[in-house]
């Protein structure tokens, strides 16, 4: 069984399906071509044990795992190890560069071939690609070869640890579980006797979490704390991998002079003493400083020192930011004192991350931008007051974190009572169609909106006596002083959109682009195959219609 990253991604996707999906839908949702989906399905089917039915897509129905297939697929994922998992090119390069960063021994091309289990040419191509990528990275790191050390990173020591932290963030937050397991197994195979990678150290650090937080007077975000414990051994190994002169070490200590005044540094010193006493693990002053930097940089859920006097300037900038956000946005904020305190806790860690180049990824950024675009936009518009005060530049992830804090403090506003609209239906297709059309329209309007159903002749005879917000018609021969909205006697999804648009936003079809034409135009940019585009367009149209009916 040789399953790679994409095979495992498809496996996980199939396990999450609760309703059948066609190969086309799976292709769109996973970002893989239909040919690739069939290819990986064949690989998965070959790996399934005897007695389990092959996974196939039924015509016009799609694909959904049976209970037996579900158990077998989950078992496949659980069994994947370094001998059965095929690394993608990106995963190989991540493994290679981390290996170069942490291994103390000389890194040769032969070791890299053994590590990745691919040909010499493939490894050389990966190394060239890595060099090109590093050349455009912000960390000023380059991959070189020396006689004494083999492949090694050439850079400032601080830059190297910053780069390794960013690399580990990408691996552990974006990598698949199978790849991370393979990576950890392969690294441990070459660094067998090092206490830093032992489960004993991980267990002891986990036990000390409560005491660390108690000593700090702060509660570190649980998600970030778990991440810190997981990557700390690799960060320390990447430091120990460097050959530094006494002058270089002295310069590095000077870089850390700021953090020695913080309570986190004293806590890191206590932790070092415990590690030495209990496990015989000795850390030098620079390694202790790195632990302190991580404790300072990771987000806190609580901090009793948030209002200490040495952060008075920080509080001024935060208060100005809150005032400016409220003054230049349509939002009202409540519990501003509590909001300011939470922002202080967050921004203290933010500034230390900026000072020491510690990358922080926000897994909710995309959701914040898409679900609350206005909140994000107003936050982004007003962060300049913080950037100017602290001489920093904020990323989208960092702005999204601020938007989350502001969103939690928004004053709840009761929805305004909607004015009752007066809607009339004009239909000349007979009583049966009139009644059916009325029932359909009632699915999209409150019961008291629709006042009556007329024929054209009846409507014209009473038009002067009516006040109407909208007249729904089924033919194009009617003239009226009131807004007209033409629909089919049996409503389709476009008619549903028109009615919903008017009910919610008072928009008539003429004031909005045609949905079908707009959808067809957008899909043409991404799909050159007209048949595939039409199939996807049909599925989207059906989904929209179902969603509209569900919302009602």
Instruction: Say if CB 392 and CB 354 are below 8 A apart.
Output: yes
Per-residue model confidence as pLDDT tens digits over 34-90: 888 888 888 888 888 888 888 888 887 888 888 888 888 888 777 765 555 678 889
Residues 298 and 239 in one domain: yes
Residues 8 and 92 in one domain: no
CA distance linking residue 552 with residue 547, whole number of Å: 9
Domain-embedded: residue 485: yes
Residues 155 and 219 in one domain: no
Domain-embedded: residue 499: yes
Q: Tell me what pLDDT residue 322 has.
A: 92
| Six token digits for residue 249 | 């070490």
CATH at 463: 3.40.50.2300
Mean pLDDT of the 135-158 span: 87
Per-residue model confidence as pLDDT tens digits over 473-519: 988 878 888 888 888 888 877 788 788 878 776 766 544 445 666 66
Res 224 pLDDT > 90: no
| DSSP string over 340-405 | HHHHHHHHHHHHHHHHHT-----TTHHHHHHHSHHHHHHHHHHTHHHHHHHT----HHHHHHHHHH
Q: Tell me what pLDDT residue 95 has.
A: 93
CATH at 36: 1.10.10.10
Residues 159 and 171 in one domain: yes
Domain-embedded: residue 436: yes
Q: Tell me what pLDDT residue 425 has.
A: 92
Examine the fold and report which residue of 49, 79, 109 is the final residue of a domain before the chain moves on.
Answer: 79
Examine the fold and report which residue of 407, 436, 458 is the final residue of a domain before the chain moves on.
Answer: 407
Residues 168 and 213 in one domain: no
CA distance linking residue 125 with residue 101, whole number of Å: 19
Q: Percent of the chain, pLDDT > 90?
A: 15
Q: Tell me what pLDDT residue 151 has.
A: 92
| Six token digits for residue 271 | 């932790």
Residues 64 and 109 in one domain: no
Per-residue model confidence as pLDDT tens digits over 269-319: 888 888 888 888 898 899 999 888 888 888 777 776 656 666 678 889 999
124 CB contacts (<8 Å, ≥6 apart)? 109
Q: Which candidate, 534, 441, 543, places its Cα nearest to that of 487?
A: 441
Domain-embedded: residue 449: yes
Residues 71 and 96 in one domain: no
Domain-embedded: residue 361: yes
Residue 416's pLDDT band (cuts 50, 70, 90)? low
Q: Tell me what pLDDT residue 94 has.
A: 93
Residues 235 and 272 in one domain: yes
Residue 348's pLDDT band (cuts 50, 70, 90)? confident
Q: Which candidate, 410, 449, 358, places its Cα nearest to that of 164?
A: 358
Mean pLDDT of the 178-204 span: 83
Question: Strand runs (DSSP E) across 198-257, as ranges?
Answer: 218-220
First-to-last C-alpha distance (Å) of the chain: 49
CA distance linking residue 74 with residue 66, whole number of Å: 12
* CA 451 distance to own-chain centroid: 48
CATH at 348: 1.10.1790.10
Residues 118 and 160 in one domain: yes
The pTM (predicted TM-score) of the whole model is: 0.61
Phi, psi values for residue 344, rounded to 5°: -60, -45
Examine the fold and report which residue of 407, 434, 463 is the final residue of a domain before the chain moves on.
Answer: 407
Residues 242 and 335 in one domain: no
Domain-embedded: residue 65: yes
Query: Whole-number mean pLDDT of the chain?
Result: 83
Mean pLDDT of the 321-334 span: 90
SS3 22: coil
213-227, 411-425, 458-472: which is most confident: 458-472
| Six token digits for residue 538 | 């049909």
Residues 232 and 278 in one domain: yes
Taking CA 151 as the corner, what is the angle to CA 228 and CA 117, rounded to the nearest 5 degrees?
80
Domain-embedded: residue 388: yes
Distances in Å between the alpha carbon of 445 and those of 426, 471, 497, 500, 548? Answer: 16, 13, 12, 8, 12
Per-residue model confidence as pLDDT tens digits over 231-274: 889 999 999 888 888 888 888 888 888 888 888 888 888 888 88
Residue-number span of the structural domain to which 65 is assigned = 3-79
Q: Which candidate, 495, 467, 494, 463, places its Cα nearest to that of 478?
A: 463
Residue 28's pLDDT band (cuts 50, 70, 90)? confident
Residues 152 and 117 in one domain: yes
Mean pLDDT of the 452-478 span: 88
Please give the tally of structural domains in the chain.
Answer: 5
Q: Tell me what pLDDT residue 1 has.
A: 47
Q: Tell me what pLDDT residue 513 has.
A: 45
Q: Tell me what pLDDT residue 110 has.
A: 92
Domain-embedded: residue 536: no
């Amino acid at each position: 069984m040789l399953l790679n990253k994409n095979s495992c991604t498809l496996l996980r996707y199939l396990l999450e399906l609760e309703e059948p999906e066609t190969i086309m839908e799976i292709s769109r949702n996973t970002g893989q071509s239909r040919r690739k989906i069939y290819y990986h399905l064949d690989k998965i089917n070959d790996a399934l044990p005897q007695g389990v039915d092959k996974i196939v897509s039924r015509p016009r129905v799609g694909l959904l795992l049976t209970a037996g297939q579900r158990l077998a697929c989950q078992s496949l994922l659980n069994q994947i190890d370094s001998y059965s998992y095929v690394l993608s090119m990106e995963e190989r390069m991540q493994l290679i560069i981390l290996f170069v960063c942490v291994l103390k021994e000389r890194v040769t091309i032969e070791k890299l071939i053994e590590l990745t289990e691919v040909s010499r040419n493939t490894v050389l191509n990966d190394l060239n690609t890595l060099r090109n990528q590093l050349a455009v990275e912000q960390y000023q790191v380059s991959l070189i070869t020396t006689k004494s050390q083999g492949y090694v990173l050439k850079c400032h020591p601080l830059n190297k640890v910053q780069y390794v932290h960013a690399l580990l963030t990408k691996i552990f937050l974006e990598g698949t579980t199978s790849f991370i397991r393979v990576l950890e197994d392969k690294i441990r195979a070459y660094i067998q006797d090092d206490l830093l990678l032992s489960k004993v150290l991980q267990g002891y650090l986990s036990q000390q979490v409560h005491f660390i937080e108690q000593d700090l007077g702060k509660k570190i975000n649980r998600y970030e704390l778990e991440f810190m414990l997981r990557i700390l051994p690799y960060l320390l190994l990447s430091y120990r991998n460097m050959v530094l002169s006494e002058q270089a070490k002295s310069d590095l200590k000077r870089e850390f002079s700021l953090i020695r005044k913080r309570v986190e540094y004293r806590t890191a010193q206590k932790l070092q003493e415990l590690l030495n006493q209990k496990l015989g693990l000795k850390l030098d002053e620079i390694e202790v400083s790195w632990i302190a930097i991580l404790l300072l940089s990771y987000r806190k859920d609580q901090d009793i020192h948030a209002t200490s006097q040495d952060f008075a300037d920080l509080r001024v900038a935060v208060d100005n930011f809150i005032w400016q956000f409220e003054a230049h946005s349509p939002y009202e904020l409540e519990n501003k004192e509590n909001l300011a305190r939470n922002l202080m806790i967050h921004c203290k860690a933010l500034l230390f991350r900026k000072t020491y180049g510690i990358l922080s990824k926000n897994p909710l950024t995309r959701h914040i931008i898409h679900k609350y675009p206005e909140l994000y936009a107003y936050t982004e518009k007003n962060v300049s007051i913080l950037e100017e005060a602290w001489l920093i530049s904020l990323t989208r992830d960092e702005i999204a974190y601020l938007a989350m804090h502001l969103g939690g403090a928004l004053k709840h506003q009761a929805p305004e009572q909607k004015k009752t609209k007066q809607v009339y239906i004009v239909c000349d297709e007979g009583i049966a169609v009139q009644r059916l059309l009325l029932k359909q329209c009632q699915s999209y309007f409150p019961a008291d909106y629709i006042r009556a159903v007329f024929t054209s002749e009846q409507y014209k005879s009473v038009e002067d006596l009516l006040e109407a917000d909208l007249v729904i018609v089924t033919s194009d021969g009617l003239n009226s002083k009131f807004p007209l909205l033409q629909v089919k006697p049996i409503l389709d999804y476009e008619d549903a959109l028109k009615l919903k648009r008017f009910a919610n936003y008072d928009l008539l079809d003429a004031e909005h682009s045609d949905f079908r034409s707009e959808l067809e135009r957008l899909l043409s940019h991404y799909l050159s195959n007209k048949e595939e585009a039409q199939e996807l367009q049909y599925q989207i149209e059906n989904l929209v219609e179902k969603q509209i009916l569900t919302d009602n």
